[in-house]
Chain A
Amino acid sequence: TQLLEQSPQFLSIQEGENLTVYCNSSSVFSSLQWYRQEPGEGPVLLVTVVTGGEVKKLKRLTFQFGDARKDSSLHITAAQPGDTGLYLCAGKSAGAGSYQLTFGKGTKLSVIP
């Protein structure tokens, strides 16, 4: 069974601070996705990273895929209250014949104004 470990589980920071969320696994993934989920809503896809070492930027969010495609990080610069939510990473298994995402349990971020 492939597992994705996310850390930290909870994070509470002041507006304007920077933060990094980690997603680690002992398994290799063909791609990894980051989602943000707000209470009572479904997860919304933020980014997909495919190539080892890949870095993608989405405004103040920077996503990195590890060289070995086993881990990823999400860095938020100058966090804002609107960034509050549950951040989930999800990996698609390398070589899988059908579509199945393995999700981490998430990092619950609270940005205090």
Chain B
Amino acid sequence: KAGVTQTPRYLIKTRGQQVTLSCSPISGHRSVSWYQQTPGQGLQFLFEYFSETQRNKGNFPGRFSGRQFSNSRSEMNVSTLELGDSALYLCASSLIPVNTEAFFGQGTRLTVV
């Protein structure tokens, strides 16, 4: 079966702009989590969605937001981009939130210039 699909793979934006990233989970998976990965901080949890509801949120500013659609696809949005937002953004899907079998997409590499 198809894996987790993230689009786009690469993105270059300038400071102050906003960006929307997309994640399509594995078919049948209803939980989607987002992570930010940087060389200095490693993988940091952004938020988790299940049944179109945000169930948990990490310690990130309000510029970072997300949503989940009825087909379980998810988007995350970052507004007023800063240089420090440059990172690999990873999406993980699982059947249900408490299920520890999470499958990651290839990520979106965001570069802010």
A and B physically associate: yes
Residues of chain A at the chain B interface (Cβ within 8 Å): 31, 33, 35, 40-45, 48, 88, 90, 92, 98-106
Q: Which residues of A contact B97 (CB under 8 A)?
A: 98-99
For B, the interface residue count at a CB cutoff of 8 angstroms equals: 31
Closest to A48 in B: B100
Q: Given known contacts A42-B106, A48-B101, A99-B98, what 10 new A-B pairs fall within 8 Å (CB)?
A: A33-B102, A42-B92, A99-B48, A100-B45, A101-B33, A101-B92, A101-B100, A103-B35, A105-B41, A106-B42
Main secondary structure of the interface of A (DSSP, over half): strand
A104 CA to B58 CA, complexed, in Å: 16
Residues of chain B lying within 8 A (CB to CB) of residue A41: 106-107
B74 at the interface (CB under 8 A from A): no
Question: Once A and B bind, how many residue pairs between them come within 8 Å at the CB atom?
Answer: 68
Whether, in the assembled complex, B55 has its beta carbon less than 8 Å from a beta carbon of chain A, the answer is yes
Inter-chain contact A42/B105, CB cutoff 8 Å: yes
